[in-house]
Amino acid sequence: MVANKKTGFITLEGIDGSGKSSIVGMLASALRKANVSVELTQEPTKTWLGDAVRRGYKEDISPYSEAFLFLADRATHTDWIKKKIADGNLVISDRYSDSTIAYQAALLHQKLGGECAEYLDYLTGVSKQIILEPDLTILFDVDPEISLKRLGNRTELEKFETLENLRLVRQNYLDIAKDNDRICIIDSTASLDTVRASTFEIIGKRLVVPL
């Protein structure tokens, strides 16, 4: 973490339905109350590059094209994040590089065969030049059977939201976490209140700001 504990870069990760998006708004208000200047962001971004990602996501394109669309969106997003941090903000991103590594490795494995581990290495390597290493990543970990039940309230499930795929994505996330001390895993099977409390505790400690 940089000298001023109230700036830096935090990412939130997890499979679909892991609850991270429910936490992000509460987290931003708590941080603002604690006088931390927060910039909330997400991937895919709300730019034309993010629109291109969402378009690719709906069409039947090569899984490599899809991976590179996510990376293209990220490269410009990283420039934006760096600028916001330089201006003294704490940037929190709902999804970032670990999403591509976990999700696209699963998709490449499913569509093209080969080992997930090889795709994990490949995507980690190709990401190096275009990312900013987060100071902290919170991984909201949940069994896909539970997350899919949560998503069941939605009318339509998206492409990645199958049990088989989310199992692979979850395992990829856990494998990435094994190699990275910046990643804190929160069991998000628990109630939203408990998950919120654990998230606030970890981030509060890291920033030296009681939340």
In the complex, the residues that contact ligand TYD under the rule CB under 6 A are 16, 21, 43-44, 70, 95, 99-100, 103-104, 158, 160
CB 15 within 8 A of CB 79: no
- Tell me the closest approach of the beta carbon of residue 4 to ligand TYD, in angstroms: 28
- Tell me the closest approach of the beta carbon of residue 15 to ligand TYD, in angstroms: 8
Give the nearer residue to ligand TYD in terms of CB position, either 36 or 102: 102
Give the nearer residue to ligand TYD in terms of CB position, either 89 or 100: 100
Question: Which single residue brings its beta carbon nearest to ligand TYD?
Answer: 103
- Tell me the closest approach of the beta carbon of residue 211 to ligand TYD, in angstroms: 23
- The string of DSSP codes covering 25-50 is HHHHHHHHHTT--EEEEESS-SSHHH
User: What is the token pair recorded at 79?
Assistant: 């420039």
Which amino acid makes up residue 137? T
Give the nearer residue to ligand TYD in terms of CB position, either 34 or 130: 130
Give the nearer residue to ligand TYD in terms of CB position, either 58 or 208: 58
Give the nearer residue to ligand TYD in terms of CB position, either 118 or 158: 158
- Tell me the closest approach of the beta carbon of residue 160 to ligand TYD, in angstroms: 4
3-state secondary structure at position 158: coil
Which letter does DSSP use for residue 104 in this model?
I
Give the separation between CA 141 and CA 15, rounded to whole angstroms: 7
Cis peptide before 144 (omega within 30 of 0): no
Which amino acid makes up residue 20? K
- Tell me the closest approach of the beta carbon of residue 96 to ligand TYD, in angstroms: 7
H-helix segments, the chain? 20-33, 48-58, 63-86, 97-99, 105-112, 116-127, 144-151, 163-178, 192-207
Give the nearer residue to ligand TYD in terms of CB position, either 87 or 158: 158
Give the separation between CA 173 and CA 178, rounded to whole angstroms: 9
- Tell me the closest approach of the beta carbon of residue 28 to ligand TYD, in angstroms: 16
